[in-house]
A and B are shown apart, each in its own frame.
Chain A
Amino acid sequence: MKNYSVLILAFLLFSCDNFLKEDPKGQLPTDNFFTSKADLDMSITALFGQFQNLNQQPGRALYAYCADDVTAQNSGNKARFAEYDMFKFTSGNVESGNWYSYLYATIKATNFIINNAVKTPADENFVNARLGQAYLIRAYCYFNLVRIWGSIPIVTKVEINYDAQKETPAAVYALIESDCTMAEKMLPINHDIVPYFQNGINVAPGKGAAKALLASVYMTEAGWPLKKGAPYYDKAAEKYKEIIDNEAAYGYILEPKIIDLTVETTGNYSKEIVWGAFYNINQQSYMGCLSELPEETAGWCDLLVEIEFYNSMPAGPRKDAWILKDICLMSKIDPATGKPAMVPWNSTETNQQHPHWRKNIDNGNWDFKVDANGKVSYTSAGLAWNSGRTKFIFRYADILLLYAEAKAFGSSAPDDLAYTCVNRVRVRAGLENIPAMSPTEFQKAVLDERRWETAGMENGCMSRFFTMQRHEILHKQKDYRSAKDSPINQSLTLSESFYYFPIPDREILIVPQMK
């Protein structure tokens, strides 16, 4: 009997607190991070992991459809893009949360670094070269948010807060300017270690990117909606000039053959890249390829070239590089070549009868050719959406044209450098130099040049939509849009309800004060 009791007691008393303690092997705790240099580097890598998610699909940047270069077919699962193209966007559009949410998720990753990097046991230069990137990307994200949604909440902590309030654009711009300035101070011209610097360029953004962003922020503040005017164009010009004057030190060039920018092998590490999002075809690859390919070539056909844009764009190597004029009909063999037939974009054999964008489709898998007569041919080999293409945030060509734009709208007349900048871009595009012009003519020439150079869905920081918004010309496109494109909302006017997007439904559902 005694033996039994001991036995039972032994079983019943078997228990200790340790039994219920969690020991998450292999996982990293939040509160013990940033205790080594490697931790800080890992946090920066994670930040860019979010940044690559943000830029991964062309369709995420819906604002691009609102500009006068990109259109979408108004049917099937493309109708959600067409809503933006036609200025009939609603807060319930399934895509509306994408760009917004990825921007804020990236901000969350920056806040984690900005609030904790100081703990890292490392010298100031080491920390600054990384912390500066976090400031830069936070500024980039808010810069996107404030331009697309206007008043938005400012979040600078890693937290869950259901009581946040919307802040005015002016308040947001104050944070952006401050972050940009921090980044400009902290970041080196060239990073000194792999992988931040490799293949001869900064894969992680450096000082040049910070200056470019700060200048662009000034220029945007000059126009709609803050309308700070000429002084801010001047500040912008000054900042862009700091880059252009030191282009050798920064190592920026214009890629001699423009089509090389659209080919993986030459474009991915082009010295024209001031700031880019880099992809790995085997990991998280860039999805521009299938997104832009025509349906006839088994693409998704997410976006098309507006007819008016196509007609207005001057011919030349730039147009050939940017736009797919001929469509490969996979289903029809050309008896002459024994290969799939090529037909012009406006052939009734095609579904869309539109030119397609080809800026992002060359993922290196297929054979794209333009002959001496500008005749395009490509074989339908590259159907994988996988692509390691680099997504450009700023190219040096943008910087040159943005300087010209800042001078064109600034307090003093455009200088020779402004002309030189425009002409450098035009020459590469196969166009002639522009002659001396009146200030107004120069303004138009610069805006046209920028329209063509940064056309299509580059997701670039200063793409066509932002130019049109800043210069209050978004609503004017209803006067010149081709009838062959999806019909634009005829009640489109210069007002916040069209110039900004509505905050996505999900956000309002969770936090009603976001409405």
Chain B
Amino acid sequence: MKLKRFTNRPSTGNWVGKTFLVMRLILFIITISVAQLFAVESYSQNTRVNLNIANQSVKEVLGEIQNQSEFLFMFNSKIVDVERKVDLETDNEKINQVLDKLFGGTDIAYTVVDRQIVLFSTKTLAEQQQSKKITGKVTDQNGGPIPGASIVVKGTTTGITTDNDGSYSLSLPTDGKILVISFVGMKTTEIPIGSQTKINVTLADETIDIEEVVAIGYGVQKKSDLTGAISSVNESSIKNEPIQRMEQMLQGRISGVSVTSTSGAPDGSVMIRIRGANSINAGNDPLYVVDGVANSDLFKSLDVNDIQSMEVLKDASSTAIYGSRGANGVIIVTTKKGSQDKSKIQFETQQSWGTVAKKYDMLNAVEFAKFYNDYRKVKGSTSDFYSADQINDWTKNGGYDWQDLMFQTAYSKNYKLSTSGGSSKVRYYLSGNVRDAEGILIESKYKKYGVRANIDVNSFDWLTVNFAMNASHDESSGNSNGITGVGGVIWDALTYSPTVGLKDADGNWITDNVSSYQKNPYGRRMQNKDDILSNTFGGNTRFSFILPIKGLTFDVLGSANYLNRSNYGLTSAMYNLNVQNAASNGKNEYISWQNTNQLTYTNKWGIHSLTATAVAEYIKETSNYQSIAVNNLLTESVGYWNLNLGSMNSFGNGYSKSTLSSYLGRVMYQLKDKYLLTATVRRDGSSKFQGTNKWGYFPSVALGWRVSEENFLKGNKTINNVKLRTSWGVTGNQGIGAYSTLGMLSSSSYSWGTATPYPGYWAQNQPTPDLTWEKTYQWDAGLDLGFFNNRIVASLDFYLKNTKDLLLQKAIPYYDGGGSSYANLGSVRNKGFEVSLNIIPISKKNLNWESTINVTYSKNEVVEMGGNQRLFPGDFDNLITFNPSVLEVGQPMGSLWGYEWLGLWKTTEAAEAAKYGQKPGDNKTLDRNKDYIIDSNDQGIIGKAFPDVTFGWNNTVSWKRFEFNVFFQGAVGADRLNLTRYGISESISDARFITSKEGYYNMWTPENQNTNIPNPYSSTIKTNAGSTQYLESADYLRCKNLSIAYNLPVKSNSIKISLSVQNLYTLTSYSGYDPEVTSSGTSDTRSGIETGAYPSPRTYTIGFRANF
């Protein structure tokens, strides 16, 4: 195992270099892409022609130009008089200048298409077109026919719709020059007719258009009119990637959004942060809004295939519309709806195989046994622990590879079926999906079944009703308990002696007696049960009225969502006959209810246009739970389904409810379509706060200037779009539990020496009636750019967020009972810079390359914490013996705390080492106060858990019927305390002996002093987990997806087959399984520590999709 870094690491400098490396890489790619673009676009601009012609025919002149250049002339010699003699002299002139001279004063015109130049007569064209008939076919990008598409001759009333196979036939009026082809959901296309009589049109999905409409919360807006920082992803962003989870649609695809899979389990938790973390204690998860309904459970239960688009609202002008819940950003999901007149059915399946992408190099049984025998001899033992017979046996038959035992090839299946269509009265979208997945850890499984219906009904010409229903059931087995952390099966398997197998002759699971203290991890996986069943059911109905005042509409939305989550556990005594078995059963219900009433007024007066919105909204969320746990089950054969067979251990139930009452207003005003203003204000009332603190105001304002609409840029062929945006606003966070300001009594039971607990209550918490919202003040400045027909689209944003009056858990002195209570204290600052680029370097009939790049730099800083310079969130760590997570003023959240490790004492430093009671080969730790005692006075900040820069680069290339996708994603600037590596490389109290090759072959010896593994034989060694010794850079660049798809040549429908690999390769110096996952879950304050985290799998997928 080669490690690039194990010396002490400077806190800055290193990542800067890496950031620049990545920046340079990306810059290089952009340059290549753009160069490609220039090459295509500007041949006619760059090519110069030198002619000196006297009295030659036009035909000869054209021949000369063809000789000098790559231009090819196309003309009908009956129309163009090529025998005409001319004189022509040009000196390094562009082709259009040359042609203007050549045909000046004649009726011959020309068009330059790439290297082809078409000559035609303007007079003849008009004459010819008088009684012309045009035929053709309209298809979508996959080649499928579009029936019902409308074809209109521009500026006339002549038009027709396509028939069932997308064909049309049209008589052209004399003044018809351009065809306008349109279809719902597709980009409207205009085609100059010219001399053509057969025009086949491929319509592109509307979403690629700059005129795309995006959801902005309580409405939609044309992308070109946006004043806020809003980014979108849609189906085409994840082309040919077998994405199964909503969160993964966002990863690496949107600037300013960091998506981290903290576990590789099939339903492992995913951490989404929009523009960094604002809050220390009140949570940083964004608000999820699905078709206007704010509910994160609903979001998570959706299937990716049912998504039309996802918008991420980042700046305050966009999020302030969500007021007290907007501070962490908002993710708006628009689901697919049926479209009029066109029935579609789509079937899709993916079969995939996941494997563990990287393994540790571990000692085999023979190496381990010899090492341990040596070790015991040095420690004074006179006998061998492992006999020569045993070692011979392992030499012959091998020992046990615990990584192979614990990880498996995970086979997963996905099936999706959907149909959509409708008439002018009713439109529908109906879908169902099944997922049956295995995790790469043995006994890790996940199943999900979902159905969805989305129906629109035009009841009257003034009323549209939308009804959406979503139901899903999922079963997660063996994914939540006892997996990560010290004592979890991954850590235990890695620290288990390779000499220890599964079962002994009596059929009992064997326990390690040399390295790990824990019970057989394989046995635990096999015997224990840990199942979670969830049922989600949600429905919402939206009545949209068109009111009799022009431009005024009224929407009423009613929504109810229900989630039932049951967890069942069995802790077996089978792998350890001496402990009690235990079983438990718990049920949680979450019911949410929302009513939104919205008035919208849209109008346009000359150069003024206005959209005004007023909303009243009421939300209620209730939850309740019941749980029961028993132990001493008489038989485990009943699993957790007959708790009567055990003796009662505990039971409980509880109830919680919170409500939110909101009123908001928004004005969007545009002057001349180039000066844009958006102003919003929201008033929220929350049940979680008391008295007047219940109510808060959240205002915002944003300005936009479409510079490209000004005269000096309008019509510019290179620069299509320039827009400047700026916004300011206030958003809130109310992420505390219901009733937490009331100071209710806490329970504390005591059994008085009996087997039955007596209930007791005491005043552990005090009321905090003064508590109110946490507020985030955000300023944003953005620039949107479009070049070369929007083949380069760029968006740049800078933001500054100050979060104040944090809902901080202020520590209570121990003498007043300890713990903490919420107070509005302290502030956190986030600032950052985001770039997203969408480039189409190649756009040809048979070859198209689209490339999207986004880069996010963010800096988080704790500014103030109620007078505390430093706080330690959470508890001490058992391996480290102090708390390795720190919050310090001036430092980012998620900072790591500990000792600076200076390497190992060298033999030449024996005298100095002795002053610390250490010997050469022991750890050398920075003694900050030079008192020759290594204690808490020598600790400091040693690293940080979250990256500075995250980026994604997605490429889709289509060539004829093939589509290729390669998607890279990465992060720079984060550190990991790799305590798994510590546990397997050193002899420590929780993993008594060394199991890794590194720990054995790279240990310190007088001959091998330049290593990071201390001398394991030393009696003076002090192991040092909480130091820079095992702090590694978690920078990575990962090939997240590589796929190839082929569209079968099938008429009137489309069938696509794809092959793909996810997580193909990760470029990182991190020595652990996966630089992305951690054992610390989704915490913002305590992270970056890895003790056997569940690694992300490498997955090979075969996909099949058919549209009819």
A residues apposed to B, CB below 8 Å = 1, 4, 7-8, 11-12, 14-15, 19-30, 33, 39, 42-52, 75-80, 88, 90-94, 97, 100-101, 104-105, 107-109, 112, 152-153, 155, 158-162, 164, 195-196, 198-199, 203-204, 268-269, 278-284, 295, 298, 330-331, 348-349, 365-366, 381-384, 386, 390, 504-507, 509-511, 514
Q: In the bound complex, what is the Cα–Cα distance between A21 and B688 (angstroms)?
A: 9
Question: Taking the complex as formed, is B121 at the interface, i.e. its CB lies under 8 A from any CB of chain A?
Answer: no
Q: Is the CB of A33 within 8 A of B649?
A: no
Q: Is the CB of B556 within 8 A of A108?
A: no
Residues 826-866 of B, flagged 1 when their CB comes within 8 A of A and 0 if not, give 00000000000000000000000000000000000000000
Min CB distance A110 to B, Å, is: 10
Question: Taking the complex as formed, is B936 at the interface, i.e. its CB lies under 8 A from any CB of chain A?
Answer: yes
B465-491 residues at the A interface, CB under 8 angstroms? none
Min CB distance A143 to B, Å, is: 16
Q: Beyond A15-B618, A42-B761, A152-B815, is A283–B742 a contact (Cβ under 8 Å)?
A: no
Min CB distance B885 to A, Å, is: 13
Q: In the bound complex, what is the Cα–Cα distance between A47 and B748 (angstroms)?
A: 8
Question: Taking the complex as formed, is B87 at the interface, i.e. its CB lies under 8 A from any CB of chain A?
Answer: no
Q: In the bound complex, what is the Cα–Cα distance between A88 and B931 (angstroms)?
A: 13
Q: Is the CB of A195 within 8 A of B758?
A: yes
Q: Is the CB of A78 within 8 A of B989?
A: yes
Q: Is the CB of B760 within 8 A of A20?
A: no
Q: Beyond A11-B616, A283-B650, is A77–B878 a contact (Cβ under 8 Å)?
A: yes
Q: Beyond A15-B616, A164-B813, is A42–B752 a contact (Cβ under 8 Å)?
A: no
Residue of A nearest to B989 (CB): A76
Min CB distance B649 to A, Å, is: 5
Among B383, B556, B579, B761, chain A packs the most CB atoms within 10 A around the CB of B761
Seed contacts A15-B618, A382-B578, A384-B580; 16 additional CB < 8 Å A-B pairs: A14-B616, A22-B687, A22-B688, A24-B656, A24-B744, A50-B748, A90-B935, A94-B881, A94-B883, A108-B763, A112-B762, A155-B815, A160-B816, A349-B381, A510-B811, A511-B813
Residues of A within 8 A of B879 (CB): 77
Min CB distance A343 to B, Å, is: 12
Q: Is the CB of B813 within 8 A of A42?
A: no
Residues of B within 8 A of A514 (CB): 813
Min CB distance B736 to A, Å, is: 12
Min CB distance A278 to B, Å, is: 3
Q: Is the CB of B757 within 8 A of A100?
A: no
Residues of A within 8 A of B1022 (CB): 75, 79
Among B690, B750, B868, chain A packs the most CB atoms within 10 A around the CB of B750
Q: Is the CB of A507 within 8 A of B814?
A: yes
Q: In the bound complex, what is the Cα–Cα distance between A26 and B812 (angstroms)?
A: 26
Q: Is the CB of B578 within 8 A of A365?
A: yes
Q: Is the CB of B876 within 8 A of A94?
A: yes
Q: Beyond A20-B694, A49-B750, is A14–B755 a contact (Cβ under 8 Å)?
A: no
Question: Taking the complex as formed, is B739 at the interface, i.e. its CB lies under 8 A from any CB of chain A?
Answer: yes
Question: Taking the complex as formed, is B655 at the interface, i.e. its CB lies under 8 A from any CB of chain A?
Answer: yes
Q: In the bound complex, what is the Cα–Cα distance between A386 and B107 (angstroms)?
A: 101
Q: Is the CB of A29 within 8 A of B616?
A: no
Contact among B658, B742, B752 with A203 in the assembled complex (CB-CB below 8 Å): B752
Q: Is the CB of A52 within 8 A of B817?
A: no
Residue of B nearest to A276 (CB): B753
Min CB distance B695 to A, Å, is: 9
Q: Is the CB of A383 within 8 A of B815?
A: no
Contact among B595, B649, B755, B766 with A159 in the assembled complex (CB-CB below 8 Å): B766
Q: Is the CB of A29 within 8 A of B745?
A: yes
B566-580 residues at the A interface, CB under 8 angstroms? 576, 578-580
Residues of B within 8 A of A280 (CB): 751, 753-757
Contact among B576, B752, B759 with A196 in the assembled complex (CB-CB below 8 Å): B752
Q: Is the CB of B761 within 8 A of A43?
A: yes
Q: In the bound complex, what is the Cα–Cα distance between A80 and B877 (angstroms)?
A: 12
Q: Is the CB of B764 within 8 A of A28?
A: no
Q: Is the CB of B815 within 8 A of A153?
A: yes
Q: Beyond A22-B738, A198-B753, A383-B576, is A30–B548 a contact (Cβ under 8 Å)?
A: no
Residue of A nearest to B519 (CB): A383
Residues of A within 8 A of B657 (CB): 22-23, 25
Residues of B within 8 A of A105 (CB): 814, 817-818
Residue of B nearest to A280 (CB): B751
Min CB distance A353 to B, Å, is: 9
Min CB distance B546 to A, Å, is: 10
Question: Taking the complex as formed, is B513 at the interface, i.e. its CB lies under 8 A from any CB of chain A?
Answer: yes
Q: In the bound complex, what is the Cα–Cα distance between A91 and B990 (angstroms)?
A: 25
Q: Is the CB of B752 within 8 A of A505?
A: no
Residue of B nearest to A109 (CB): B762
Q: In the bound complex, what is the Cα–Cα distance between A107 and B578 (angstroms)?
A: 38
Q: Is the CB of A298 within 8 A of B517?
A: yes
Q: Beyond A79-B881, A282-B755, is A8–B599 a contact (Cβ under 8 Å)?
A: yes
Q: In the bound complex, what is the Cα–Cα distance between A267 and B545 (angstroms)?
A: 78
Residues of B within 8 A of A282 (CB): 631, 647, 649, 755
Residues of B within 8 A of A11 (CB): 556, 595, 597, 616
Residues of A within 8 A of B576 (CB): 383
Q: Is the CB of B753 within 8 A of A507?
A: no
Question: Taking the complex as formed, is B606 at the interface, i.e. its CB lies under 8 A from any CB of chain A?
Answer: no
Q: In the bound complex, what is the Cα–Cα distance between A23 and B758 (angstroms)?
A: 25
Question: Taking the complex as formed, is B1102 at the interface, i.e. its CB lies under 8 A from any CB of chain A?
Answer: no
Residues of B within 8 A of A25 (CB): 655, 657
Residues of B within 8 A of A366 (CB): 578
Question: Taking the complex as formed, is B955 at the interface, i.e. its CB lies under 8 A from any CB of chain A?
Answer: no
Q: In the bound complex, what is the Cα–Cα distance between A91 and B814 (angstroms)?
A: 14
Residue of B nearest to A52 (CB): B750
Question: Taking the complex as formed, is B232 at the interface, i.e. its CB lies under 8 A from any CB of chain A?
Answer: no
Residues 636-662 of B, flagged 1 when their CB comes within 8 A of A and 0 if not, give 000000000001011001111111010
Q: In the bound complex, what is the Cα–Cα distance between A49 and B653 (angstroms)?
A: 20
Residue of B nearest to A45 (CB): B760
Chosen A-B contacts, 22 in total, with CB atoms closer than 8 Å, are A8-B599, A11-B597, A15-B616, A19-B661, A20-B659, A24-B742, A43-B760, A46-B750, A75-B989, A75-B1022, A101-B818, A105-B818, A161-B813, A203-B753, A269-B753, A278-B753, A280-B756, A280-B757, A283-B649, A295-B992, A506-B811, A510-B811
Question: Taking the complex as formed, is B916 at the interface, i.e. its CB lies under 8 A from any CB of chain A?
Answer: no
Q: In the bound complex, what is the Cα–Cα distance between A42 and B661 (angstroms)?
A: 37
Q: In the bound complex, what is the Cα–Cα distance between A90 and B749 (angstroms)?
A: 34
Residues of B within 8 A of A269 (CB): 753
Considering the complex of A and B, which 6 residue pairs feature the smallest CB-CB distances, nearest first?
Answer: A92-B936, A76-B989, A45-B760, A46-B760, A49-B748, A278-B753
Contact among A88, A160, A283 with B812 in the assembled complex (CB-CB below 8 Å): A160
Question: Taking the complex as formed, is B743 at the interface, i.e. its CB lies under 8 A from any CB of chain A?
Answer: yes
Residues of B within 8 A of A199 (CB): 753
Q: In the bound complex, what is the Cα–Cα distance between A45 and B654 (angstroms)?
A: 21
Among A27, A88, A155, A383, chain B packs the most CB atoms within 10 A around the CB of A27
Q: Beyond A20-B661, A42-B760, A92-B882, is A162–B745 a contact (Cβ under 8 Å)?
A: no
Q: Is the CB of B748 within 8 A of A27?
A: no
Residues of A within 8 A of B812 (CB): 160, 510
Question: Taking the complex as formed, is B1054 at the interface, i.e. its CB lies under 8 A from any CB of chain A?
Answer: no
Residues of B within 8 A of A44 (CB): 760
Q: In the bound complex, what is the Cα–Cα distance between A284 and B650 (angstroms)?
A: 11
Q: In the bound complex, what is the Cα–Cα distance between A470 and B3 (angstroms)?
A: 56
Residues of B within 8 A of A26 (CB): 653-655
Question: Taking the complex as formed, is B126 at the interface, i.e. its CB lies under 8 A from any CB of chain A?
Answer: no
Residues of A within 8 A of B750 (CB): 45-46, 48-49, 51-52
Q: In the bound complex, what is the Cα–Cα distance between A32 and B216 (angstroms)?
A: 48
Q: Is the CB of A390 within 8 A of B753?
A: yes
Question: Taking the complex as formed, is B870 at the interface, i.e. its CB lies under 8 A from any CB of chain A?
Answer: yes
Residues of A within 8 A of B421 (CB): none
Q: Is the CB of B881 within 8 A of A80?
A: yes
Q: In the bound complex, what is the Cα–Cα distance between A507 and B578 (angstroms)?
A: 41
Q: Is the CB of B745 within 8 A of A164?
A: no
Q: In the bound complex, what is the Cα–Cα distance between A454 and B756 (angstroms)?
A: 30
Residues of B within 8 A of A90 (CB): 935-936
Residue of A nearest to B685 (CB): A20
Residues of B within 8 A of A101 (CB): 814, 818
Residues 397-414 of B, flagged 1 when their CB comes within 8 A of A and 0 if not, give 000000000000000000
